[in-house]
Amino acid sequence: DTGVSQDPRHKITKRGQNVTFRCDPISEHNRLYWYRQTLGQGPEFLTYFQNEAQLEKSRLLSDRFSAERPKGSFSTLEIQRTEQGDSAMYLCASSGLAGETQYFGPGTRLLVL
């Protein structure tokens, strides 16, 4: 039984470029979450899916951010026109329908130059 996986683990990009991250949740999990974590802070909620439906988006998620989970399995998070302030660790988590225990992936560390 594999855990949550994320790809890539590290991404360096130039300001203004678009980036896309992928998350593969634990296979039987219905819920999938995206969080952002900056140094010295706890993870901040961005959005979550129940199956393929995106049920909640944080006000932190500007129009440059979009997430999809087209078949209710893996998910992608895209950031358009990246800014230096987007530099952070992007964490994905998944859980069953009860939504209690969220299992986190290793994260994708983004650096925008």
**Residues contributing to the site for other proteins (CB under 8 A):** 4, 31, 33, 35, 40-45, 48, 50, 55-56, 58, 91, 93, 98-107
Please tell me the distance from the alpha carbon of residue 56 to that of residue 12, in angstroms, as a whole number.
Answer: 28
CB of 7: closest distance to other proteins in angstroms?
14
Torsion of CA 111, 16, 47, 95, to 10 degrees: -40
**Cβ distance to other proteins smaller for residue 28 or 100:** 100
Phi, psi of 84 (to 5 degrees): -60, -30
Choose between 47 and 82: whose C-beta lies nearer to other proteins. 47
* Calpha distance 2→43 (Å, rounded): 22
Q: How far is the CB of 51 from other proteins (least distance, A)?
A: 12
